[in-house]
Amino acid sequence: MLCVSDNEGGLTVIDVEGEVRWKKRAAGAGEGWMVRADGSGTLHGGALGVRKFDWNGKKAWRVDTGDVRFGWAEPRSGGVGCRDDLKVAPVVQAG
């Protein structure tokens, strides 16, 4: 999968055949800077914080962290660099 973040806060996921699987855009999202992916889905960071989507495009959760500029994910935690500081938060998994 190819996960693309755009300058309007959108997230697009494209499969290996080049077909768009799904697109998400939140009203007022502003810029979207960070995309990370793992076996369970994608993490998308931007002006509205961090959103987690599964591979079908269903939103699993959202955390208001402030304006995200970069980020990383580990098995039990992750972090994001925001415009004003660095935040580390647990990774929430449904199930």
Residue 38: predicted pLDDT: 84
pTM of the model: 0.74
Domain 2-90's class? mainly beta
pLDDT by residue, tens only, the chain of 95 residues:
899 888 888 899 999 999 999 998 877 777 777 888 888 888 888 777 788 899 999 998 887 777 776 666 655 555 555 555 555 554 544 44
Other Cβ atoms closer than 10 A to 65: 18
Residue 79: predicted pLDDT: 56
Sheet holding 86-90, edge to edge: 68-73, 77-82, 86-90
Contacts of 58 (CB under 8 A, 6+ apart): none
Residue 86, φ and ψ in degrees, nearest 5: -110, 135
